[in-house]
Amino acid sequence: MQKLFKFFMMGMLIPLLSLFSCSDEFLDAPSENQLTPSDLPEGITAFDGIAESLYFKPWFTFNDKFLIAIGDMYAGNAFTFDGAFAQFLNAQVTSQNPILTEGYVSLFSVVDQSNNLMKLVEDRKSELPEASYKNAIAISRFMRANAYFYLVRTFGAVPIVDKAGSAAQPKRNRVEDVYKFIKLDLEYAAANLPETSTKKGYVNKTVAMGVLAKVHLTLHEYVACASLTQEIMGKQYSLIQEYGNLFSSPENNNSAESMFALQWKAIATEWGTQNTNQAYIVPGGTGITGGGDGWGVYLPSISLQAGFEPKDSRKKNTIMTDGDFYPELLKNQGGFKYKKILSSTAANFRKYIVGSAAERNDVFFMRTSQNTIILRYSDILLMYAEAVLAGANSTTEPSALKAFNEVRTRAGLPTKALLTRDELFNERRIEFALEGQYFFDLKRRGLLEATAIISQQEVGFYSDDDRTVLVSRKITPTSGYFELPLPQSAIDTNPSLLEPPVPFNFN
């Protein structure tokens, strides 16, 4: 497998790098950097290549800034003074925003590489066992579906590119068709992926069912979501005891709670295979990374901080507040004690901070091996509770309460005998803070309700050293807030993106 990985890095990831350096060409049409049967030596199946590539490389710039920018900062979970993120903080994102463009290109790179790899498998179908063929197609369609799920929730109508070598300048397709396309991909994946993962961290039938459940929930198809999540609960996956281990210790990657995660590899001499989150999150000037990175770009908003209940054990693992002590950070100095002076919101994020090269052999400048979790078991539990609630203001249904309270019990919080809609969504906000989910959760609540919530959130900062003088800032979303603009570079090279969306031909 090590030889395979080295081959794959040279033979497949170099073309991937060219995707990012030629973004205008890619945005015009699917990439022409397609694989051919000759790219694989004798005896190596297509699935081996899929397994090594689609879990990390094409997702890189999506994870580098876009996921947190749109999922957390745009929705009010994070504050910043960094100019590149200012438009997200102020809910004034333009089509020229580089972070927006990077996310769009990255997600279509996932689509492109999934399509390329499916073509390769089709070309060599006669050489593969039926099970290997179906598994290869299934994982490609799973990845493509996840990319489109982020695209449609962020941008609305986007072009459906269903095969390698599709026509240039594709038109946008209707939102309902994009969702239908996503469902078909996930249904195929659920039917053809193995029951259990072929390798630790790889997706399987249950994972595809979990993502499909979230698609149904997004569309308010509550019965379908409840059925899928109920089938998942209590079987392959479970909550781990230590919440913080999900995000700040690569040795705990792919735990019993992690269902689908981006599998990062910190390699000192390579760029684009690693998780860069720590570099942006570590409080500036603390030396926690042991290098020149650690800039405190993302700060917990005052609104997010207020959302934690007293004695919530997730708080210290999610955000650093005045007086918090972390013996696992700066070990050679006896640990790290946080002081609120380090942040203009009186707190910094703790999630995704791994430590320094002096403490670990998989940390380099702007590089860690910490997975980015896209779907985990606690999400299944809370999705089930939300599906049972089915848009109502409250429920006392026992199975919904059991699922909801399982998450709260892990956090050291008292259980509830009645679950309200607001309690459910606040629980999700806290449980998944800095995981890129909050914007999509708000959007799922409905535009009027979401607008009212966002308008009440305090996303300002403190102007004095004691962190008591508040410079208040609140955002009132405009009518276009819930669908971000397509990147201007995409429109420049493909003007048909400005035309009304058209139906997709599923035949």
Contact between 19 and 112 (Cβ < 8 Å): yes
The boundaries of the domain holding residue 351 are 277-370
Q: Tell me if 25 is assigned to some domain.
A: no
Q: Tell me if 195 is assigned to some domain.
A: no
Tokens read off for 295: 């800039």
Q: At what angle do helices 377-389 and 398-410 cross, to 10 degrees?
A: 150
Q: 171 in helix, strand or coil?
A: coil
Contact between 473 and 459 (Cβ < 8 Å): yes
Q: Tell me if 314 is assigned to some domain.
A: yes
Q: 430 in helix, strand or coil?
A: helix
Q: Give the Cβ contact number of residue 229 at 10 Å.
A: 27
pTM of the model: 0.92
Contact between 324 and 480 (Cβ < 8 Å): no
Looking only at the bridges linking them, the beta strands covering 372-376 and 394-395 are unpaired
Contact between 238 and 257 (Cβ < 8 Å): yes
User: Comparing C-alpha atoms, which of 147, 73, 90 is closest to residue 301?
Assistant: 73
**Lookup result for tokens 């009212």:** 452
Q: Is 333 exposed, middle or buried (0-12, 13-18, 19+ CB in 10 A)?
A: exposed
E strands in 253-295: 258-262
Distance CA 216, CA 225 (A): 5
Contact between 164 and 492 (Cβ < 8 Å): no
Looking only at the bridges linking them, the beta strands covering 319-321 and 347-349 are antiparallel
Contact between 323 and 467 (Cβ < 8 Å): no
Q: Tell me if 333 is assigned to some domain.
A: yes
Contact between 255 and 245 (Cβ < 8 Å): yes
User: Comparing C-alpha atoms, which of 32, 39, 73 is closest to residue 53?
Assistant: 39
Contacts of 57 (CB under 8 A, 6+ apart): 13, 16, 272, 273
Q: Tell me if 457 is assigned to some domain.
A: no
In the chain, the number of structural domains is: 1
pLDDT in single tens digits along all 507 residues of the chain: 333 333 333 333 333 333 333 333 434 434 433 444 444 444 455 556 665 789 999 999 999 999 999 999 999 999 999 988 999 999 999 999 999 999 999 999 999 999 998 998 899 888 888 888 888 899 999 999 999 999 999 999 999 999 998 777 899 999 999 999 999 999 999 999 999 998 899 999 999 999 999 999 999 999 999 999 999 999 999 999 999 999 999 999 999 999 999 999 999 999 999 999 999 999 999 999 999 999 999 999 999 999 999 999 999 999 999 999 999 999 999 999 999 999 999 999 999 999 999 999 999 999 999 999 999 999 999 999 999 999 999 999 999 999 999 999 999 999 999 999 999 999 999 999 999 999 999 999 999 999 999 999 999 999 999 999 999 999 999 889 999 999 999 999 999 999 999 999 999
Distance CA 77, CA 91 (A): 13
Q: Tell me if 307 is assigned to some domain.
A: yes
| C-alpha 138 chain-centroid distance | 20
Looking only at the bridges linking them, the beta strands covering 325-326 and 319-321 are unpaired
User: Comparing C-alpha atoms, which of 117, 152, 149 is closest to residue 135?
Assistant: 117
Which H or E run contains 321? strand 319-321
Distance CA 469, CA 471 (A): 7
If you write DSSP's letter for every residue of 181-202 in order, what string do you get? HHHHHHHHHHHHS-SS-SSTT-
Distance CA 312, CA 317 (A): 10
Q: Tell me if 313 is assigned to some domain.
A: yes
Task: Supply φ then ψ for residue 299, to 5 degrees.
Answer: -120, 140
Q: Tell me if 284 is assigned to some domain.
A: yes
